[in-house]
Structure 1
């Protein structure tokens, strides 16, 4: 499936969510319940499923490289987001930082990487997704909920997002094969994450003032940061230190994805700037129809 088809699917699912909100099938209470279900059930299962691939010793070095590149990519994204949004008012600042750091690496990143680099690329995308998951449940939660959300190691280890990474790593590193029935349940329920997140985002979009958000200059700065600034800076660094390889290119392309729908889900869960985050997801996904092919053309 090509890039444009993937993005079109996103918008059509969002439209279904918007229709459901306009017809009062969905409301704010249901949005919050679905958001909690997504964050605590479907998203962790999606993460576990992403680690279910055949591990080859020949790929070990590239997997380590992908891990290092992913960490570097997130460090760069966090630093740039802190610099760029430092003067934005408190409240919006934290949401824009989140939008700058956390992309749509699952629904859009995975299939696009697979279409370019095949199953090998998916392995590196899964490694990126591992770091993404750890950070979104630590740094991401901290942005929205404050230090108390990750105040101690015990509560962090009980977090479903972190637990899913630990379970996924165990499955990947051991010869244990889950029963086919369990695998199917994990795959089916985890597969609900993308359509559910898009439906929730579309529902949120139906309840916001589009006119007010179109005038929000900081939002456009956030979108430019996510779609262009971060991936281009990362690409320049890989060229400067001669890191051009399939693992490195995979990470750069993933970093060119639009704002992840998790931004609007977290905003709903923590009741922080819901309109800004939902519209950032919408607009960045729309604009990415132009920017992703450009970045892919440069990198590949």
Structure 2
């Protein structure tokens, strides 16, 4: 994972030297969400259909439903018990459930497992994408009836995933020139994502850490999101699930809280500062927790089926 840290350091340095400004961060975010990430998904899902792939698909969906259901259950229970203002409760729940599986997730899995890992990650993310654009909005808008639910179908991540899955299971393929274009554009996702994360980290103010760092609920959310909930997927080592699928599922579930939480907080009137700190804190901590998770996975590999 050292190359990822170096990419993030480039982004951090560039932001500190004012090579990037806030507008540049917004442009890079839009570029990844609407161009490079969909291209990477479409390229990665262009593979040969087989019975083995169908079985892998089923296992990944089962693990995704399991970990998301557990996350929703835990987060909803903790939200009710939390002594937080109303504008922070929805943020608290979202920090626990939703991870940065797009930016950091694709970067980490691509480094470790190349295109095959991206196929697994994309399949694992299908349920996640649907949940974050439905339940993710709901927890911020429980009493707001003005939300346009049709936005679900215009999300580039969902659209590219659905198109890619259709191409995966149908006797269809992209022309070589289009597939090559998807490949070249998609390859920009990993470096762009880590450079952007580094740039975000450069904007952190020390006084923000002092203020929100004393909030126990953010730390509870971080521990659950980065360690406890992902490791719950270890129950699948007792089932005939291929090792590579379990590794992808656990590492993906161990990603830091999604930046979408901050976007939703701003859009729907929740506490944006609380949300931003939670996202930044889990992003910083993941540079410690992800190697720990990966070490645990390496240690238990002999007990997982191939």
TM-score normalized by structure 1? Answer: 0.78
**Cα distance change on mapping 1:53 and 1:230 into 2, 3 Å:** same
**Cα distance change on mapping 1:254 and 1:283 into 2, 3 Å:** closer
Q: Match of 1:208, SS?
A: coil
Q: Match of 2:47, SS?
A: coil
Q: Residues 170-209 of structure 1: CA distance to partner in whole angstroms, max 9, x if unpaired?
A: 2112222212221122122222222222222211211112
**Cα distance change on mapping 1:103 and 1:54 into 2, 3 Å:** same
How far apart, in 1, do the equivalents of 2:206 and 2:297 lie? 28
Alignment of 1:201-220 (within 5 A): 201-210=197-206, 212-213=208-209, 215-216=213-214, 217-220=216-219
How far apart, in 1, do the equivalents of 2:7 and 2:139 lie? 28
Residue number in structure 1 paired with 2:177: 181
Task: Quote how far apart the aligned CAs of 1:143 are.
Answer: 5.5
Q: Check if 1:78 corresponds to 2:72.
A: yes
Shifted more, 196-205 versus 136-145: the winner is: 136-145
**Cα distance change on mapping 1:99 and 1:13 into 2, 3 Å:** farther
Residue number in structure 2 paired with 1:277: 279
Task: Quote how far apart the aligned CAs of 1:211 are.
Answer: 5.5
Q: Match of 2:259, SS?
A: helix
Residue number in structure 2 paired with 1:64: 58
How far apart, in 2, do the equivalents of 1:172 and 1:149 lie? 36
Alignment of 1:110-259 (within 5 A): 110-112=110-112, 114=113, 119=116, 123-140=119-136, 151-153=148-150, 155-210=151-206, 212-213=208-209, 215-216=213-214, 217-236=216-235, 238=236, 243-246=239-242, 249-250=246-247, 252-259=249-256
Residue number in structure 2 paired with 1:107: 107
Residue number in structure 1 paired with 2:292: 290
Q: Residues 83-108 of structure 1: CA distance to partner in whole angstroms, max 9, x if unpaired?
A: 34541444554444444332543222
TM-score normalized by structure 2? Answer: 0.77
**Cα distance change on mapping 1:45 and 1:143 into 2, 3 Å:** farther
**Cα distance change on mapping 1:203 and 1:91 into 2, 3 Å:** farther
Task: Quote how far apart the aligned CAs of 1:122 are.
Answer: 5.8
**Cα distance change on mapping 1:10 and 1:58 into 2, 3 Å:** closer
Q: Paired residues, what number?
A: 284
State the Cα RMSD in Å.
3.2
Task: Quote how far apart the aligned CAs of 1:230 are.
Answer: 0.6
